[in-house]
Chain A
Amino acid sequence: MAFAVQSNKTGAPRTRRRPAHTGIAWLFLAPFAVIFVVFSAIPIISSLAISVTDMRSADLQTPFGVNFAGLENYVALLSDGNFVRAILNTLLFVVVGVPVTMAVGFALALVLNSGIRRFRSVFRGLFYAPVVTNIVSVALIWQYAFNQNGTVNEVLANLGFAGPNWLGDENLAMPVVILLGIWRNFGTAMLLFLAGLQSVPEDVQEAAALDGAGPWRRLWSMTIPLIMPTTLLVSVLLSVFFLQVFDEPYLLTNGGPLGSTESMALFTYHQFGFGNFGVSSAASFILLLIVAAVSALQFRLLRSRS
C-alpha cells in the first residue's frame, strides 16, 4: 500500500507500473479471501474478544449476550496451578523435543548427503514416513507398546528387568510422549537440512580438504556455519510445532496422569470441552502470543531469504 500513497500524493516519479489488474486479481483471490475472513481473521479477533467475557457453551446461540469480564480470565489462569503446569510442560516439550529432533535430523541429513552413495532416496523415504503417517494409528501402537503388559516391557522382561507402567507413571509418561513427538518430526528436520546441505558448494569443501582440513574440521568450520540459515529456520519451525503440541498427549495420555503431560493446547481443548469458552480463549490467546513471538522470527527469516 505504501507505494500507492506515495504516487497519489506527490506525483513523485513512479518506480512501479500502475497496478493494472486490481479487479481481476481480487476475483482470483476471492475464494481465499472469503475463507480467510471467516475462518482466520474473524476467529483471531473474536478469540481476543471472547477471552475477556464469561462466555460458556450455553451462550452459543446468543454470543453477543455475554458479560464483559475484563482480565478476570487471564488473572484466574495465571494463578491456576494446572495452567502454569501446562505452560511448563509445553516448554519442556520444546526444550527437549526441538534439540533432539534437530540433532537426529541433522545427523541423518549429513550421512544421506555425503556419507553414502546408494539407496539415498530409500532411506530418506523410510525416515520421512512417520511425518506423513496418521498420528491416531501410530499413537494406538505406542499405547499398546508402552502398556504395563506391552511390547516394551516384554522385551525388558526378557532382559531380566521388570518394566514400569510407562504411561501411567507421572515421571515416565512425559518422556514417552516427547519421544513420539520426536519420532514424528525428525523426518521434517532431516528433509530441510538435506535441502540446506545441497546448497553448500562442493568445490569449497574440496578446496578445504586439499588444504588439509579433516572431515570433522570441515563440518565444524564450514558446513555448520554455511547452513546457519537452515538451522535457524528448522529450529523456529520445530519450536512452533512443539509449542502447539496436542495430538501426542491427547492420544497417549489425555494429559494425565495427574496433568503431568497436559500441554497448553490440550488445556485449551479441555476448558473448551468443559464449556468454559472464555477461559479457553484466554489460554489460547496466551499461546498465540508465545507462538507469534516465535513466528515473527520465522517471518523475518523467510523474508530475508526471498
Chain B
Amino acid sequence: MTSRLRPAVLYTALIVLALVTILPFIWVISGSLRTTSDIQANPGAWLPSEVTLDNFARLFSRNGFSTFLGNSVIVAIVIVIGNIIAASMAGFALAKLEFRGKRVAFAAVLIALMVPFSATFVPQFVVTVQLGLVDTLAGIALPSLVLPISIFIMRQFAASIPDELLEAARIDGANEVRIFFQIFLPLAGPAVATVTIMSFLASWNNFIWPLIVAQSADSYTLPVGLAAMSQAAQNVTDYGLVLAGAVIVMLPVLVLFLFLQRYFVQGIVSTGLK
C-alpha cells in the first residue's frame, strides 16, 4: 500500500462502518416522520415520501405518554441530584480522610459495582414491597440514588487534589466539613459534570428495574411505557406512533452526547480503567 492510498482506504472503511452503525438512528428518525400508510406501503424505504409531524401530535395527545415523560424527568432529576450530593461526599471521604473501616467502605463500593443486577432484583423487589414503595417513583429512583460509578468518579477526582492544599486549610483551623464545602466542592466542577451525565444516562435508560417496580401505567417511565406501547402496536402495527415515541426517548441523550462527548468518554474510561 502506498502511503497516499492507505488513508483513503481507511476513511472509506470508517465511513461505511459509521453509516452501518447509525443506520438504526436514521431509520427511527425517518420512520417517525412518515405517515402510517407510507410505512405500510414502503416498509423498506429510507426516506419519508412526505414529512409529517402527525405521529408526534398523536403521541402527545394520547393518554399516558406525557405521564411517562414526566415520570422519567422526575426520576432523572432526583437521581442526578442524589448522586451529585452523596457521591461527592463519599468520594471525598474515601480519597482524603483516614478512618476506621475505610477498606470495608471501599469494598462495599466495589461490591455494589460488580454484583449483577439480575442476581439481586428479586430480593430488591421484596425490600421495595416491604418499604411500601412498589409502583411509586420513589421505588424506581431509590436504588440508583448513589451509584457506585459516581463514587468512583468522585473518588478519583478527589485523589488528584494535592494533600498540601487540604493540610494548609487544616492548619488554619478548618474542619473537614468546611474543607469539603469550601475547597473540594469549588474545584469539583468537572467531576460533578461527569457524575451528572453518567447518572442521568443510567436513570434515563434504565429499563429492567422500572419494568419491575412500575406496575400501573401511572408510574411507567418512558422506556417502560414505550415497550408497552410497542407490544400493543404489534396488533395494530401503528409503527409511526411507536417510532415517534422512540425518538422522544433517544433524543435527550443523543443531544447531550453530541455536545458533551468528552464527559461521557471520561466517565467510561475512568470507571473502566481505574
Contacts and interface: CB of A to CB of B under 8 A. Distances in A.
A251 B229 CA distance: 12
Secondary structure class of chain A's binding surface, majority of residues = helix
Contacts of B145: 31, 35
Nearest to B225: A136
Contact of B246 (A140, A154, A269, A285): A140
A25 B90 CA distance: 8
A233 B270 CA distance: 13
A25 B97 contact: yes
A125 B258 contact: yes
A26 interface: yes
B231 to A, nearest CB: 9
B180 A28 contact: yes
Contacts of B143: 35, 39
B98 A29 contact: no
A284 interface: yes
Contacts of A20: 97-99
B183 to A, nearest CB: 14
Interface in A238-272: 240, 243-244, 246-247, 250-251, 264-265, 268-269, 272
Contacts of B173: none
A135 B119 CA distance: 21
B204 A277 contact: no
B189 interface: no
Given A39-B124, A287-B118, A137 B99 contact: no
A100 to B, nearest CB: 14
A161 B204 CA distance: 40
Contacts of B180: 28
A39 B142 contact: yes
B114, B118, B212, B272: residue with the most chain A Cβ atoms closer than 10 Å: B118
Interface in A195-220: 195-196
B127 A272 contact: no
Interface stretch (A44-52, A72-80, A168-176): A44-52
Contact of B122 (A39, A195, A280): A280
Interface in B71-85: 82, 85
A28 B239 CA distance: 49
Interface residues of B, number: 96
For chain A, the bracket of interface size reads 35 or more
A152 B209 CA distance: 32
Contacts of B272: 188, 191-192, 195, 233-234, 237
B102 A135 contact: no
A115 interface: yes
B243 A291 contact: no
Contacts of A145: 24, 27
A272 B215 CA distance: 14
A173 to B, nearest CB: 16
B261 A121 contact: yes
A31 B18 contact: no
Contacts of B105: 29, 32-33
Interface in B205-247: 205, 207-208, 212, 222-223, 226-227, 230, 239, 242-243, 245-247
The 3 closest A-B pairs by CB, nearest first: A154-B44, A137-B246, A288-B119
16 contacts: A1-B104, A2-B103, A18-B98, A26-B101, A31-B85, A32-B89, A39-B127, A43-B123, A43-B127, A132-B257, A138-B24, A142-B24, A191-B265, A251-B227, A291-B115, A291-B119
Interface of A: 1-2, 4, 16-22, 24-26, 28-29, 31-33, 35-36, 38-44, 46-47, 50, 60, 63, 108, 111, 115-117, 121, 123-138, 140-145, 147, 149-151, 154-155, 183, 188, 191-192, 195-196, 230, 233-234, 237, 240, 243-244, 246-247, 250-251, 264-265, 268-269, 272, 277, 280-281, 284-285, 287-288, 291-292, 295, 298-299, 302, 305-306
